[in-house]
Amino acid sequence: MEKMEASFNVLIMSIGSSAAMAMGLQADPQTGKIEVDKNLARFNIDLLSLLKDKTKNNLTADENNFLDAVISDLKSKFIALK
């Protein structure tokens, strides 16, 4: 198994994947099931927004742009769930 490197972008992708899974956009890798949990999706999107607020002025331009893109994409997909 390849060693994974911890990075800010990996953290963003991990939380983003959890949000996508909670919106039913991805199957749970352990069960293979697709389930929708809007509260969990909102929680994960809120986590990313909190991370953005707490890391303001401490990110590289690439990290900031990636975080903004993930949050924007997830928010638009969340709105489409309603």
All structural domains of the chain with their residue ranges: 8-81
Q: 35-60, pLDDT tens digit by residue?
A: 999 999 999 999 999 999 999 999 99
Whole-model pTM over 0.75: yes
Mean pLDDT of the chain, nearest integer: 94
- Helix, strand, coil percentages, rounded to 5, for the chain: 65, 0, 35
- The CA distance from 3 to 71, in Å, is 27
**Closest Cα to residue 64, out of 55, 77, 73?**
55
